[in-house]
A = this chain, B = another copy of it.
Amino acid sequence: MEKKIALLPGDGIGKEVMDGAVEILKAIEEHYYHRFHFQYGMIGGAAIDEMNSPLPQETLQMCRESDAVLLGSVGGPKWDKNPSHLRPEKGLLALRKELDLYANLRPVETVESLLDSSPLKREYVEGVDFMIVRELTGGLYFGKPSERNVKNGEHTVVDTLFYKRDEMERIIERAFQLAQDRKKKVTSVDKANVLESSRMWREVAEEVAMKFPDVELQHMLVDHAAMALIHNPKQFDVIVTENMFGDILSDEASMLTGSLGMLPSASLSATGLHLYEPVHGSAPDIAGEDKANPVAMILSTAMMLRHSFKMEEEAEAIENAVKHVLDSGKRTADLTRKGEKPFSTSELVEEIKAALADDHAIFNIMEAYA
């Protein structure tokens, strides 16, 4: 296959981990006879410095003409005092809005060899494998009015949780589709005992569930979900929820694996043009030192291959290579224990490439004998 991929390294360690991801994609090209056209664009602080905008028109245009977008990370102390419209994060928010990326997917899967890094006991997190699907463009973070008022000397403030029924339907449907390719269970999280929006959410979930008789639907209140993620995370397959609940729960869930450096994410649109990025930030404190963990970025490219290009085999090959390398004890500094020598970013990428090549060689031999 031939695909155009927009690469937006952004700031800080974004550049380094993006370099690693490109290496891996080139290996996939070679092993599986694909052709990837890479185009680089600027976003975030880098774009502010060079073009005085966190999301230059050229970058947006280039993304629109691509088949998928890979993003590193944005932000850093250098731009912390900038006015609101010249903040790096604004570039990412604007891109999400422009591309209508309404579904944020965050897989949370624990790796056997890294269970020691988790704050939770082994028996609680062993075998955890779920996906949080968060609505990303509606709810309390976008509703109007969001303003202060003064009346008879009394100061008040209001924010608004607003949803269209259609917005609920499309994200819940997406969650059910994802569950069909997984363990066929959807946990819909709401606060239906208190919020009218949650009661509508629950109804829509029930309706959508009728169209997926092979997928089980479970409802859970958001405060209970915050507990269940800790005391019984293995029960989950796909969790779907509105924007703010998803923000809180997905960050909570990110702690189960023990390293933010491990977690990829996807943001999907209705148009088919999706964005993939690591969950971690730009980590300015270690930027440029070849120390960053490239795994989250590399697993994000695997998600791209799966969700944008339907290259399931290639995606799994990357995931297996990463697992193989981590299981053999090779790790960047964020995951090493006392006395262990950490691998650099580029060394770890080389290891993952080597594992990919091995895996592919074995696959070819097996094919030849099949």
Contact = CB atoms under 8 A, between A and B. Distances in A.
Nearest to A193: B89
Contact of A158 (B118, B160, B252): B160
A327 interface: no
Nearest to A254: B227
A281 to B, nearest CB: 11
A195 B230 contact: no
A227 B200 contact: no
**Residues of A in contact with B, size category:** 35 or more
Interface in A230-263: 230-231, 244-245, 247-252, 254-255
Given A120-B119, A226-B252, A255-B231, A156 B165 contact: yes
A218 interface: no
Interface stretch (A24-32, A52-60, A147-155, A330-338): A147-155
A285 interface: no
A224 to B, nearest CB: 7
Interface string A167-199: 000000000000000000000000101111100
A120 B146 CA distance: 38
Given A118-B121, A158-B162, A224-B251, 10 more contacts: A119-B124, A121-B121, A155-B166, A156-B164, A157-B163, A159-B196, A159-B197, A161-B161, A226-B249, A226-B252
18 contacts: A119-B120, A119-B124, A119-B230, A140-B140, A148-B200, A155-B166, A155-B200, A156-B162, A156-B163, A157-B165, A158-B196, A159-B161, A159-B196, A160-B160, A161-B161, A191-B244, A223-B251, A226-B249
